[in-house]
Amino acid sequence: MTRPDAAPDRDAAVVLTANNIAKAYGSVHALKGVNFEVRRGKVTTLFGENGAGKSTLMKILSGVVKPTSGAIELDGSPVTFASASEARDAGISIIHQELSLAPNMSVRDNIFMGREIAGPTGIDYAEEARQAKVLMAELEEDIDPMTPVETLRLGQQQIVEIARALSVNSRILIMDEPTSALSAAEVEVLFKVIGDLKSRGVAIVYISHHLEEALQITDYAVVLRDGAMTAKADRADIDLEWIVRNMVGENYHLGTPPTGYQFGEVALSVRDLTVTDAANTGIAVVDRLSLDVRAGEIVCIYGLMGAGRTEMLECIAGRVPKAGGEVRLEGREISRLTIAERIAQGLALVPEDRQRDGLVQTMTVGENLSLASIGAFAKRVLLSRSTERAMVDQSIKSVTIKTAGGHAAIGSLSGGNQQKVVIGKMLTTHPRVILLDEPSRGIDIGAKAEVFRLLAERARDGLAVVFSTSEVAECLSIAHRIIVMARGKISAEFGSDASKEQIMAASGEAVVH
């Protein structure tokens, strides 16, 4: 603080203020009264774990989502945005975490989508192409404006997304995880562009899970946890350790690794597994990865978005084809089996996106629970209703689902209970190995702890458990072993005594450097 050159300009004008912003989805409070300000020509970075409310806050600032309560002030006068285009007209634009490009259209058409430049005879394509070229040159990316977006690799698509936001000439630019698919060189170019924008007086709001990377460019840091702001500071006052401490908190206990028993034989053995990207052939999203899990062992896989966790788990479960290597379940090679055959052999996957891949919304809680093991209820040809009901009731009890009963609609359950339905469904198949991709996604802490307790109990009975997470605190709960993945490879392996900082460093370093 005493060094004037390191201290950010305290007088930089505040352009945007969010006062006491709250947002509730049903009974879940995504944001609980957050105050936030954005300064002209400065980078303000939002830190926080998944579910902390970062993206929700940014969606509110950019007019995509309306807050439940609270006010936004632009240049000191209160504003409300009915839509994203109203916010854009007011000078606020956002680069979304999920790409929002039309893959069938060209780079040029995507950049000017919704704001086509009118000429005397319809759209002035030549002018659009010229401006698109200028933007690409600025981003040092050699992409022809006429290239269809679907033929670009993911990183280049992200560049197009960034170019689109730049083309608006906005005063406030929100970047939600802009670097998750970029190569190190592309990140450098982006940071240079951010520098240019700053000098032009553009206020930038930056969100990233790559903490060290974000520290390179930020001027102010704001930390969110569970929908509330926990800390804010100038860049000069903080370091990595400060961010992690404020992000993670010390207060939640998600269990300890179950002890007092011996692990069994190796239940799941993965050797040199390689998976290539479905959209962009040749890029290995999982790169010659090897892993052994014993019966009764709980392994946690930590990694950032795009580290290859989902691809690895889905490949083991048979959803995604492998490009190389082998997968053995209790010694038997299972790579040629279908998903159904793998389930029958004792390998179950709880998918990452439970709405899309886990639940059938048109069916009841009971029907969802019995879906994976329905063949077992068939008495000769017909289902035995009483057997099924008994199994459903037993399952509801054993995984502690809070529901009116098996006949209730699946949509009537909370996120945590829905997740328990998906887990319960796979447990009824009596698996030897269960893979869970981000089992704690979007569920509250109480439900998280219950899910982990459930898994620990099953491990004690000899089930091999592999779960992935992007929250460090969850690594240090029930897992006997923590594996950190980065860029499709295992970058580090820890016991249950690892520290949060160690784990985070192992996941990020491989990306930044």
Partner 1 sequence: MTNAASTTTPPSRASASGGGFELGRVLLEGRAYFALILIIAVFSFLSPYYFTVGNFLTMASHVALFGILAIGMLLVILNGGIDLSVGSTLGLSGVIAGFLMQGVTLPWFGVILYPPVWVVAILACGLGGLIGLVNGVLIARFKVPAFVATLGVMYMVRGIALLITNGLTYNSLGGRPDLGNQGFDWLGFNRIMGVPIGVVVMVVLAFLGSLVLTRTPFGRWLYASGGNERAAELSGVPTRFVQMTVYALSGVCAAIAGLILSSQLTSAGPTAGTTYELTAIAAVVIGGAALTGGRGNIRGTMLGAFVIGFLSDGLVIIGISSYWQTVFTGAVIVLAVLLNAIQYRGRAKAPAVAGATPAAKLAG
Q: How far apart are CA 147 and CA 455, in angstroms?
A: 48
Classify each residue of 31-47 as buried b or exposed e, where b means 16 or more C-beta atoms within 10 Å of its C-beta. Answer: bbebebbbbbbbbbbbb
Spatial CB neighbours of 375, under 8 Å, sequence gap ≥ 6: none
* Minimum distance from residue 401 beta carbon to partner 1 (Å): 14
349 binds partner 1 (CB under 8 A): yes
Q: Which stretch binds partner 1 (CB under 8 A): 128-136, 255-263, 324-332, 423-431?
A: 423-431
99 binds partner 1 (CB under 8 A): no
Indicate which single residue of 407, 430, 493, 499 sits in contact with partner 1 (rule: CB under 8 A): 407
Residue for token pair 């007011």: 90
Considering beta carbons, is residue 46 or 485 the nearer one to partner 1? 46
Indicate which single residue of 102, 340, 430, 495 sits in contact with partner 1 (rule: CB under 8 A): 340
Q: How far apart are CA 215 and CA 221, in angstroms?
A: 9
Indicate which single residue of 6, 9, 25, 137 sits in contact with partner 1 (rule: CB under 8 A): 25
319 binds partner 1 (CB under 8 A): yes
Side chain identity, residue 497: D
429 binds partner 1 (CB under 8 A): yes
Residue for token pair 């996957």: 349
Tell me the β-bridge partners of 47.
223
Q: How far apart are CA 159 and CA 167, in angstroms?
A: 12
Size of the site for partner 1 (CB under 8 A): 71
In sequence order, what DSSP letters do the residues of 100-140 get, joined into one string? ---TTSBHHHHHTTTSPPEETTEE-HHHHHHHHHHHHHHTT
Q: How far apart are CA 253 and CA 118, in angstroms?
A: 59
Segment 31 to 60, residues that bind partner 1, using CB under 8 A: 48, 50-57, 59
Binding mask 56-75 for partner 1 (x = CB under 8 A): xx-x-----x----------
411 binds partner 1 (CB under 8 A): yes
Indicate which single residue of 78, 119, 195, 375 sits in contact with partner 1 (rule: CB under 8 A): 375
30 binds partner 1 (CB under 8 A): yes
Indicate which single residue of 222, 413, 451, 478 sits in contact with partner 1 (rule: CB under 8 A): 413
209 binds partner 1 (CB under 8 A): no
420 binds partner 1 (CB under 8 A): no
Considering beta carbons, is residue 65 or 464 the nearer one to partner 1? 65
* Minimum distance from residue 360 beta carbon to partner 1 (Å): 4
Q: How far is CA 478 from CA 94, 330, 455, 502, in A?
A: 38, 23, 8, 18
Indicate which single residue of 377, 452, 467, 494 sits in contact with partner 1 (rule: CB under 8 A): 377
